[in-house]
Amino acid sequence: MSYLMGIDVGTTSTRAVLIDEKGNLVASEATEYPLHTPQPGWAEQNPEDWWQATINSVRQVIAKAGIRPEEIAGLGLSGQMHGSVFLDANNQVIRPAILWCDQRTAAQCDWITETVGRDTIVRITCNPVLTGFTAPKIIWLRDNEPDNFARVRKVLLPKDYIRFRLTGTFATEVSDASGTSLLDVPNRRWSEELMQALGLPMDWLPEVYESPEVSARISRDGAEATGLAEGTPVVGGGGDQAAGAVGNGIVEPGIVSSTIGTSGVVFAYAEEPFTDPELRTHTFCHAVPGKWHVMGVVLSAGGSLRWLRDALGYTGYEQINKEAAEAPAGCEGLIFLPYLTGERTPYPDPYARGVFFGLSLRHDKRHMIRAVMEGAAYAHRDSFEILDAMGVPISHVRISGGGARSPLWRQIMADVTGREHVTINVDEGPAYGVALLAGVGTGIYPDVPSACHTAIRVEQRILPDEKRHAMYTEFYKQVYRPLYPALKSLYAVNAGIVVKYLE
């Protein structure tokens, strides 16, 4: 029996999973680390924290499974997208990594768009340049930390830094690279045209692979640190959303995923790289070779509930879910906009912030908790509405992520969107998906769809309640959707005042 390992470098923790050839989970482990916000709108992490978490998670999984490292046939890597790790000539990290949810680069996005041209950017990358993406982070470094910028010799995404520490190889793959604003998404390769226009050298970028391709092998140093066997193949892997989609079986038309993690994502498979005319969704390369995907992104879905949990002093989610269930559906008119770290879909606005609307003396923390859950569901509905307008087929929705472990939240998602949601037999997220990709790259499975068909099956169906859906639709159309346009100008004014009085 051979085994497959997946490692996911997430925003809150690094998770390692081990599966057997049939896709059965053998062992898993997650190791947490902090996220730093040195200024409002900023989000950074220390790449060394990712590495130490990787070492611990991998060693724990091998010990739990009780296997020999040589029995692991291959390994896949996933991670939070868009983050920037800057390395110097000695391959040392220059500064903390700037993360996907960081909003400091609005001016740099404008500069790139004006310098290159919006039509050119969309033609090459299938997306606008957004604050979370990687290219504006590089330009921000040039503009604000010129001494650090002068030292840069390589720019890596989070999972690809871990690949380097494991293997000594600089490599990435198409799904994660799609979120850099530097990849030619239709042709699945780095864009020399964009790099030249931005004045950046091509050799700063790692070689780009398809997701199931073997990109490197565990080095002696990587083996000594983690307990893995030297020479173990490491496939390209995937950005967390594409990898999570593989782990959910979103590898053919009609099956859509809805994920409630720190962020929230509605993810649909695509045969061609087509885009929303209004550019409200992202079009990226899929982890399935030669395929693409369309996704809408809510920056603070589960992250909003985690914020409220911490703000109210809860230590876990069991009690918070129990109290939310005591509040009525619709929360008697209390609406939450989940824009705690800005927003992506349908409003690419770094200045947007969270709002409770409709508070009254009748509302207590139970209503607030449920309103946060409903707010994230309304935000997901925004993406479903766009996919419908684009003509994307949706036969059923597979729900996953930490928030999906809550039966209440699953029902709210079905009721708000009016769509049947289903759960599947595995819920290990992106780490599970890249373990399957490792199986494809090492020949255990012939292709990605075959891997998914072998390992994944539907378990529970959650049907929407028609009465609640009708009520939620009224709140969504008449209150939730009009709120952002009504507040948009105030968000920018508010952000300006905050910056003005920063100490």
pLDDT score, position 235? 98
Beta bridge partners of 30: 15
240 classed as catalytic = yes
Q: Is the predicted pLDDT of residue 1 greater than 90, yes or no? A: no
Q: For residue range 447-492, what is the model confidence (pLDDT) as tens digits? A: 999 999 999 999 999 999 999 999 999 999 999 999 999 999 999 9
pLDDT score, position 429? 84
pLDDT band at 196 (very low <50, low <70, confident <90, very high): very high
**Separation CA 238–CA 157 (nearest Å):** 11
pLDDT, average across residues 117-140: 96
pLDDT score, position 503? 61
**Separation CA 105–CA 363 (nearest Å):** 37
pLDDT score, position 396? 86
Whether residue 143 contacts residue 198, with contact meaning beta carbons closer than 8 Å, is answered with no
Q: Three-class SS of residue 258?
A: strand
Q: For residue range 273-283, what is the model confidence (pLDDT) as tens digits? A: 989 999 999 99
Q: What are the extents of the domains in the chain?
A: 3-242
Lowest-pLDDT range, 147-151, 364-368, 397-401? 397-401
Half-sphere exposure (CA, 13 Å, Cβ side) for 477? 7
pLDDT band at 294 (very low <50, low <70, confident <90, very high): very high
pTM here is 0.89
Whether residue 254 contacts residue 392, with contact meaning beta carbons closer than 8 Å, is answered with no
pLDDT band at 417 (very low <50, low <70, confident <90, very high): very high
Please report, rounded to a whole number, the percentage of residues in the chain having pLDDT higher than 70.
100
Residue 274's CB is within 10 A of a number of other CB atoms, namely 14
Whether residue 296 contacts residue 387, with contact meaning beta carbons closer than 8 Å, is answered with yes
Please report, rounded to a whole number, the percentage of residues in the chain having pLDDT higher than 90.
93
Q: For residue range 84-117, what is the model confidence (pLDDT) as tens digits? A: 999 999 999 999 999 999 989 999 999 999 999 9
Q: For residue range 25-62, what is the model confidence (pLDDT) as tens digits? A: 999 999 999 999 999 889 999 999 999 999 999 999 99
pLDDT, average across residues 287-293: 97
pLDDT band at 121 (very low <50, low <70, confident <90, very high): very high
Chain Cα centroid distance, residue 34: 17
pLDDT score, position 115? 97
Identified catalytic residue from 160, 184, 240, 382:
240
pLDDT, average across residues 151-162: 98
Rg (C-alpha) for the chain, rounded Å, is: 22
Nearest residue to 262 via CA among 64, 79, 476 = 79
Q: For residue range 244-278, what is the model confidence (pLDDT) as tens digits? A: 999 999 999 999 999 998 899 999 999 999 899 99
Average confidence score pLDDT of the chain:
96
pLDDT score, position 371? 98
pLDDT score, position 274? 87
**Separation CA 338–CA 205 (nearest Å):** 34
Candidates 3.30.420.40, 1.10.3720.10, 3.30.70.890, 3.40.228.10; correct CATH number of 3-242?
Answer: 3.30.420.40
Whether residue 59 contacts residue 227, with contact meaning beta carbons closer than 8 Å, is answered with yes
